[in-house]
Every structure is written in C-alpha cells, then in structure tokens.
Chain A
C-alpha cells in the first residue's frame, strides 16, 4: 500500500495559509546591496575600533541590519563585526556603552547576542556574550528579550 500521500505538503495547495513573510515588513533593499552594505560596515567598524571608539563602532554595526530570507552571508558578516566589537570592549565600559544606545539599537544588539550564543565556533566567547546579556538586561529589561523572541525580522 502506497503511503506516498502522507508525504505531500498540503500547505502549498492551501491558498489561505499564512506565510512567514506576511508577518513583517520585508527589507526593501536588494540582497546584493545588503551584502555590500555589510562588507562596508566591516571596514568602517575596523577603523572605529582602531581609534578605540566603541560606542561609534556599535552604532555603525547596529544600523540597518540585514534580516529576512536570502541574506545569510550578510547576516554572518554582521555577526562577526559585532562579536569583534564585543570582544574588544572592557567589561567595566559595557554599561556606559549600552546606556548610550537607542532602544532600537538595544533590541538589535540583544538579537545578535542570542544569535552569537546559538553559533558554535572558536571565536565565539560564551562568557563575553553572557556578560553583555546581563548588562543589557539591566538596562533594557525583560521587554528587550521578549522583543527578540517576538520579532520576526530575524538576524
């Protein structure tokens, strides 16, 4: 007896099914444009870090982050950029840096902290991420974490 019918994805035949893309406003930029912007950010952040300008570097990195489908490369580049910034910041400087961020930047940073924690790799330091997470929660509260979980614009 053929059980092939059990493997059919019936949702593709349903006209009324709710798609993930309908739940958020899509990024109007072209994927290639997004990758280019991410690479450019990498350069600008590097120069900011060489001047020891952590707040400036963070603002640049957290501005217009890539989200949605088809931009995975850009997402990884942005994550690397942020991890570099976080690794270069002294633990005692973190609270001041965080207070200078706008709420949108704080929410975006929280998304990257969780993304960093989800990535396995030698350059991802768990203790650094957890330190930032603790300080960011003190400033932005539980609402920031809830927004990371609710926001469909996944980084």
Chain B
C-alpha cells in the first residue's frame, strides 16, 4: 500500500501524537502552541489550539486510554490537558493543568507510562522528572532522576512493566533507570533488568563504540530488549546480560525509532526516509531495508507525470524521498495481531505520512553488525 501523505503545514512538525482511535492528532509546528486536527473523512482539519506554553513545545504525548495529552516545552513546564465540557458553551474544550517539574532547563521529551498514571519528562537540566498524580492535593508531583546523568536527556521510553524507564542522553549513553514510585506502583516482577528496584536505581548503562548523542531509545514490546539510535549513524540493540549489537548505517544519523514487533524496528532521521531493521533467525540484526519507493521509481514517476526527463529532474531541488526534510518522529499507528502494521512519521517539512511497514525494499549497500 502506498504511503498516505498529509502536508499539514509549511513549518516543521516538531512532535505528533494520535489519540486512541486515530481520529485526532495533536501536533506542534515548532511553536508554543499545539494544534489538534480531526480526520474529516478525507483530510485533517484544525479542531482546537492548545495555548499555554511561552516557549516552543518540544514534545507531545496522547494517552490512549485516559484521553489526556501532556505537552512539554522549552519553558521548563509541562501541562496535562483534559477534555472537559465548557460550562458556558457546553462544547468540549481542553483544560490545562500545570505540572511543576522543578527543572531549571528546557523539557525535551515526554512520554506517558503504559498504565498512564505517570509520565516522564526528559530535560536539559541533566534530570528526568517522573510525575505522578497526588489525589490528596489534586496536583501532579515530580520526582527527579539525576544520578548519574551528565548531560541533557534527549529521549525517554517506558518499559511495559510501568516501572523501568530508558533514557538517551547527550553524554553518549543510553541508560535504564527504575522510576518506581511507592505511592503509585505495585512492586514490579523481576525482569532481565533486575529485581529489587528502588527509585533511581541504574539497571544498565550502554554506549555505542563511536559514541554520539543518543537521539532515540525504545524497549521492545516484551521489554527484554533495548534499542537506541545515536548520532554516530548507528543503531544499537542491547540484550541485558547478553550481547550488544551495533549496526553501522551508511546514511545520516537516525533520530527516532520504534519497535513494530519483537523482531523488527522502524527508524528514521536525517536521511528523510524510514528504515526497517529486521532480526534474522540467529538473533543477529539483519540488513536494514528502506520503507519507501526506491529512488529510481520516484524519478520515473516524476518523468511520467510532469514530462520531465531524468536530466532535468537531477537539477530539481526536490529530494527523491517522500519526506523533504528530516523526519522528527515515528510512531506506531495500526496494530494487527501484536505486530505494528502501520507507522506514522512527521517531519521538518510539515508532512505527516502513514506508512505500511510491510512495504520494504532491500538496501543494496553493505551494512555491518558488530558484536560488542
């Protein structure tokens, strides 16, 4: 199935997040406002604008079950938005609740936990604020994960058990912490990452051989494997207590990734196209393929539709990939039988694209896997 392209604006999309039934999407166009678009059957129309932040919003996450949106911004704050009925007009509006993160630098990334009772905010204050709701005082309280983070935290991802949190930082490391909050969590079952896990326990610290800021980090659906993409154009897959595989890419660095199944990852970044990294039978990562029409096909298509010869197309400033600029975020969109069959990407070109994950074309270049 061909990718569905939605050009939402001319400005970059810094973050996007769909609601549970994919009928609405919250996006931020590199500004201090977040916009909610609704699917009207044929296109995305603007439904609501969330204005509370003073500085650009860096990250948005929409909790599917509780239907709450959390936005994090460079203004060192996060807001939790809830859909309530406006007493005057009777229509549904989004009401914000300020969360005091107690950080003195920008918030860079935010994610709801699987049970949606906590969320983690990565920040430039070399800390992660794990926020939970205190029903007594009716507000969100934050606990900071600090040691041994040495630089800006760029991304976070929750483990399915709602307690473990993976974080990628600008000090070239990907770490797994325990974000166990006594008041909210039940004691987690022992996993490959450890058994006794009080708050701020470091369960693992990993780095790619050539280093590089860790732009994206994600647990596999089971939580037993960790993958991270770093600025040295590589993707690393970690089996705790076992081996660590480092895939060196020939492309520009990847900045976002998501697991589509226990055996496959979709990642994207500065190369403007998504890559699919499958796991081969022997648990070693296989050769990544591109999730896109091949470049040759795109040239042929433009020659056909616009009557341009390939010589003229080569002087065109349009990229051969569908996204015309860096892909900033890749998210799972549709699942079938536990496997993500569709993913969405948003890019700095203002486009939102829905991809079919089975539409992979093999990458011709030789790629390597390194066992560390």
Contact = CB atoms under 8 A, between A and B. Distances in A.
Contact of B253 (A25, A107, A139, A146): A146
A102 B172 CA distance: 24
Contacts of B232: 146-147, 150-151
B264 interface: no
B323 to A, nearest CB: 17
B211 A152 contact: yes
B68 interface: no
Contacts of A143: 233-234, 248-253
A63 interface: no
Contacts of A153: 210-211
B212 interface: yes
B150 A107 contact: no
Contact of B248 (A139, A147, A152): A147
A142 interface: yes
Contacts of A102: 368
A30 B171 CA distance: 26
Interface in B246-295: 248-253
A103 B231 CA distance: 17
A118 interface: no
Interface in B188-247: 207, 209-212, 230-234
A104 interface: yes
A61 interface: no
Nearest to B151: A18
A49 to B, nearest CB: 27
A140 B212 contact: no
Contacts of A104: 209, 370
A147 B210 contact: yes
A85 interface: no
A144 B150 CA distance: 27
Nearest to A143: B233
A146 B233 contact: yes
A147 B368 contact: no
Interface residues of B, number: 24
* Chain B at the A interface: SS class: loop
B192 to A, nearest CB: 24
A49 B251 CA distance: 33
Contact of A147 (B150, B233, B366): B233
A141 B323 CA distance: 20
Contacts of B171: 18, 22-23
A13 interface: no
A43 B86 CA distance: 82
B250 A151 contact: no
A142 B271 CA distance: 10
A103 B370 CA distance: 9
Given A18-B171, A22-B171, A102-B368, A144 B250 contact: yes
Interface in A109-129: none
Contacts of B212: 147, 150-151
A152 B231 CA distance: 12
Given A107-B248, A141-B250, A143-B249, 16 more contacts: A23-B171, A24-B172, A142-B233, A142-B252, A143-B234, A143-B252, A144-B233, A146-B252, A147-B210, A147-B233, A150-B230, A150-B231, A150-B233, A151-B211, A151-B212, A153-B211
20 contacts: A22-B150, A25-B207, A140-B250, A141-B249, A141-B251, A142-B251, A143-B234, A143-B248, A144-B233, A146-B231, A147-B210, A147-B212, A147-B248, A150-B230, A150-B231, A151-B210, A151-B211, A151-B212, A151-B232, A152-B211
Across chains A and B, which 8 residue pairs bring their CB atoms closest together, nearest first?
A: A141-B250, A143-B233, A103-B368, A151-B210, A150-B212, A150-B232, A146-B233, A143-B250
Interface of A: 18, 22-25, 102-104, 107, 139-144, 146-147, 150-153
